Amino acid sequence: MLEIFQRALAQTPGKDGIRRSRWAVIRNTYPQLKDTTIRTFQQWFPPERCGKYNISTHDYILQIGDVCAEILFRALDRPDQVANLLSLELTGAWLNEFKEIPFAVFEAIQGRVDRYPAKKDGGCTWTGIIMDSNPPDTDSKYYHYFEETSPDNARLFKQPSGLSPQAENLDNLSGSYYGNLASGKSQDFIDVYVHGKYGYVKEGKGVYDGSYNDDIHVSKEPLTVNTAIPLILGFDFGLTPACVLCQVTPRGGFNVLEELISDNMGLKQFIQNRLKPQLL
């Protein structure tokens, strides 16, 4: 949020001498937006001293000196706000806890920034998308974008471990905060939420938690199809359809012969392009 204010301060004044900018602040759900993001923003910039907050639209007009920054708070679990978000003309945006936000939203927002102020009014002195989050897992599209594609117009800042003397925000936390956070947690949890490393944190209990074993359940040799036995196809639908091709052997073994996955593909296209070639 301070980054937004600094960028708003740096905006070149318009003909009327006012530094105008417009920012979308995005969170995955409205409760998260209301209870965390908006509350923290108002602690730093109290509406009674720094501008005006509209509780019905969740828009904040931040007015300090010659700065007039429109801060538009939006949640992705409200269809009306999503539709509004994708039609905005913005200077920039802040994706708060971005790993919870679909990558498609990030891509769409890239087309909404650098639009206000309009070019005829001087344009944007700076434009871009600010993002913060605990690290996602390495299968995330965000990981692929920042670590593998690494476009020239993106910069990634990694915080040191919470147990490091260089940790951020220690002055505002108790000395035992990170130690207590790590206590009793899995190593995956500690890596992500304490050390700031990429990782996958499992929530809840796995279907086969504690019973799956690579040595037992993974074949040492490639499995072959028995043409005398019917195939069993197991599907998962949606915009990322998947299918497993299986057989039950005469001795009662359950063989998973192939796993087919997709991304952003309809079911008919998946069957035509991925499944049929495997069956022919």
Is the pLDDT at 213 greater than 90? The verdict is no
**For the chain, counts of helices (H) and of strands (E):** 12, 9
Is the pLDDT at 202 greater than 80? The verdict is no
- Shared domain for 120 and 230, answered yes or no, is no
Tokens of 261: 């996955």
Domain for residue 124, yes or no? yes
Is the pLDDT at 77 greater than 90? The verdict is no
Give the residue from 117, 133, 149 where a domain finishes: 133
Domain for residue 225, yes or no? yes
- Shared domain for 248 and 126, answered yes or no, is no
Give the residue from 104, 133, 162 where a domain finishes: 133
- Shared domain for 221 and 101, answered yes or no, is no
Domain for residue 211, yes or no? no
Domain for residue 193, yes or no? no
State the pLDDT confidence band at 206, using cuts at 50, 70 and 90: low
Q: List helix spans (H) across the chain.
A: 2-10, 30-32, 39-44, 47-50, 79-85, 103-110, 141-143, 177-182, 187-193, 214-217, 267-270, 276-279
- Shared domain for 127 and 222, answered yes or no, is no
User: What range defines the domain where residue 248 resides?
Assistant: 217-279
Domain for residue 239, yes or no? yes
Is the pLDDT at 170 greater than 90? The verdict is no
Domain for residue 68, yes or no? yes
Q: How much is the pLDDT for 207?
A: 64
Tokens of 249: 């052997």
- Shared domain for 19 and 111, answered yes or no, is yes
Q: pLDDT (tens digit, 9 = 90+) per residue, 15-41?
A: 999 999 999 999 999 999 999 999 999
Is the pLDDT at 154 greater than 90? The verdict is yes
Residue 55's CATH number: 3.40.50.300
Q: How much is the pLDDT for 205?
A: 65
Domain for residue 197, yes or no? no
Domain count, the chain: 2
Is the pLDDT at 209 greater than 70? The verdict is no
Give the pLDDT mean for 128-145: 94
Domain for residue 250, yes or no? yes
CA pseudo-torsion sign 138, 92, 67, 96 = negative
Q: What mean pLDDT, rounded, does the chain reach?
A: 91
Q: Above pLDDT 90, what percent of the chain?
A: 73
Which of 186, 173, 178, 185 shows the shortest CA–CA distance to 162? 178
| Among the ranges given (33-37, 120-124, 166-170), the one the predictor scored with the smallest mean pLDDT | 166-170
Give the pLDDT mean for 246-262: 94
Is the pLDDT at 203 greater than 80? The verdict is no
Give the residue from 107, 133, 159 where a domain finishes: 133
Instruction: Report the SS3 class of residue 239.
Output: coil
- Shared domain for 124 and 221, answered yes or no, is no
CA dist 120 and 75 (Å) reads 31
